[in-house]
Amino acid sequence: MSRLVMKFGGTSVADLERIRRVARLVNAEVLAGHQVAVVVSAMSGKTNELVAWTDGSGAAAAGLPPSDDEYDVVVASGEQVTAGLLAMTLRNMGVSARSWMGWQIPIIADDAHGRARIDDISPEKLGGAMDAGEVAVIAGFQGVTRDGRIATLGRGGSDTSAVAIAAALGAPCDIYTDVDGVYTTDPRIESKARKLARISYEEMLEMASLGAKVLQTRSVELAMAYKVPLRVLSSFVEPGEAPGQGTIVCDEEDIVEKRIVSGVAYSRDEAKISLFGLPDHPGVSSAIFGALADANVNVDMIVQSKARTADTANMEFTVGKRDAQRAVEIVRAAQPQIGFLDIAVNDDVAKVSVIGVGMRSHTGVAKSMFQALAEKGVNIQVISTSEIKISVLIDAAYTELAVRALHAAYGLDQL
């Protein structure tokens, strides 16, 4: 019998009615002959509520999970509720099932509480129960540290739980969510966005890390590393109803129809910090970004330019919005070593990116991007590129306009 991992997000288990529908979808796979492990998120809104309960500490107020093991005890509880409810519902339907918490499997995680990574999964007990014909209902988002404490995997972490379990079981992973696949861009911004039949792991990874919220970035990394066949599909269908194929996330070689650009992503979660009048000598960047790295501030885009005044330079870089204030304080504190004249923050910016593996072999992708933005009068503040993506930082007010212009420029509405 083949094994299958199914994952359901918060909106798919938002109430008992929806949990019953999930149970029907699970049962359909059981009847089709699969041994099923189901990973569930907390009911939608629950984790936010639990996170809010832990507010009050300075770290939480700054938007960061306090690095505290008890934060994880609180926020992991939402998944425990849905796992129990789904197991009960399945039993009511005559399907043998039981719930599993992270520590019961166990899913061993490191102790970076609030954003832990999975170190190891022992699939023996779980696999044994599945072999015996029992559906395994697994609480997503949580693992257990080597010294026995609960650890959560970062927001959106149930995707990562599901892919990690699929890798451990040697099974494919179906991610059921409130959209029916991965789109060329956010359909709320561009109604002509198209669902992609297939997307490569690498493109999906860029899309996820550049702001598309369908899958947690880490889950895509894992799927790519362990070659887990991944599918994104809608949970808002009944078994037997044409479910659609969703989107298959796979190796680049398994995509027949080649595109140059596969999608346009955006993120409003950006802030730009500008430093003026930096001394232009070795060690300055190292002092700035060393101080930020030591404080765990993630820096994304960076540009440095020579200033008009002799021997000085200006530098601009971006960080997540929630880290902006902290980043400024850190850089200010290091001012005596760095020696800049002025610092400014702008958090009214957005990052818009185009992604596609075809960029590796085609020229002119950047040209089309800059041309399309110029035609709409969108000013570009910072540019960064990688092998398969180009990102620009623009005024946040132009986000929608830019996304639509780029979507059209690459013909994504005509896929």
Residues that bind ligand ASP (CB under 6 A): 9-10, 41-42, 47, 78, 140-141, 155-159
Shortest reach from residue 72's CB to ligand ASP, in Å: 12
The radius of gyration of the chain from alpha carbons, rounded to an integer in Å, stands at: 23
Shortest reach from residue 222's CB to ligand ASP, in Å: 14
Considering the rule CB under 5 A, would residue 9 count as an interface residue with Mg ion? yes
Shortest reach from residue 161's CB to ligand ASP, in Å: 8
DSSP letters for 351-399: EEEEE-GGGGT-S-HHHHHHHHHHHTTPPP-EEEEETTEEEEEEEGGGH
Closer residue to Mg ion in complex, CB, 217/262: 217
Shortest reach from residue 11's CB to ligand ASP, in Å: 10
Query: Residue 65 binds which one of Mg ion, ligand ASP, none, with CB within 5 to 8 A depending on kind?
Result: none
Q: Do residues 87 and 20 touch, judged by C-beta distance below 8 A?
A: no
Considering the rule CB under 5 A, would residue 156 count as an interface residue with Mg ion? yes
Query: Cα 140 to chain center, whole Å?
Result: 15
Query: Residue 314 binds which one of Mg ion, ligand ASP, none, with CB within 5 to 8 A depending on kind?
Result: none
Closer residue to Mg ion in complex, CB, 9/65: 9
- Compute the distance between CA of residue 341 and CA of residue 118 in angstroms, rounded to an integer: 44
Considering the rule CB under 5 A, would residue 211 count as an interface residue with Mg ion? no
Shortest reach from residue 208's CB to Mg ion, in Å: 10
Binding mask 101-140 toward Mg ion (x if CB under 5 A, else -) reads: ----------------------------------------
Measuring CA to CA, how many Å separate 375 from each of 262, 306, 370, 381?
22, 29, 9, 16
Shortest reach from residue 141's CB to ligand ASP, in Å: 4
Query: Residue 127 binds which one of ligand ASP, Mg ion, none, with CB within 5 to 8 A depending on kind?
Result: none
* 294-303 contacts at long range (C-beta below 8 A, 24 or more positions apart): 295/326, 295/330, 297/323, 297/326, 297/327, 297/330, 298/323, 300/270, 300/351, 300/384, 301/351, 301/382, 301/383, 301/384, 301/391, 301/393, 302/384, 303/382, 303/383
Closer residue to Mg ion in complex, CB, 9/114: 9
Tokens encoding 54: 């832990």
Residues that bind Mg ion (CB under 5 A): 9, 156
